[in-house]
Amino acid sequence: MPRIITALFAVAFLCFGLVTVSYAGDGHASQFDVRKTDAEWQQQLDKQQYKILRKHGTERPFTSPLLKEKRHGVFVCAACGHELFVSETKYESGTGWPSFYQPAAQGAIGTSTDHKLGYARTEVHCARCGGHLGHVFNDGPQPTGLRYCINGAALSFTPRP
């Protein structure tokens, strides 16, 4: 029975145009400084990174080692090494994904609208390669009030003294 319900939801989303295809891996690479073919991304990234960064997947909550990362350092895009977030802006949101209240620098990330769940969400992607990182929500702490909810597999961490 659950398979039938899942199939019906999938058909409904497709019929009503609620599934959108974003551009991180879908022919809009010319917008980004780092451009690779799909085959090149598959060769470079592990299976989970590819699913998340290039196909807009989501890792299971509470599975990323970066969730509990507390050291001083920088979080970079696992696909291209672009600096995305710093440890000073990371906080425990309780959601099961690494969360930050702001990017490392203005222009480090880009956003687009995602309708995959049937309602609008703001998707976050790497500004350098277009890789899908996660989503941003308006329920974060001060000073921004934002919660950048990021897939840990989309990030690499580099400690800094």
16, pLDDT greater than 70:
no
Catalytically annotated residues: 149
7, pLDDT greater than 50:
no
Show the domain range for 49: 2-159
59, 94 in Cβ contact below 8 A?
Answer: no
Q: What is the pLDDT of residues 62-80, one digit of tens each?
A: 999 999 999 999 999 999 9
What is the domain count for the chain? 1
CATH code of the domain covering residue 24: 2.170.150.20
pTM: 0.80
Q: Token pair for residue 15?
A: 């019929």
Q: Is 133 strand, coil or helix?
A: strand
- CA separation for the pair 139, 64 (Å, rounded): 22
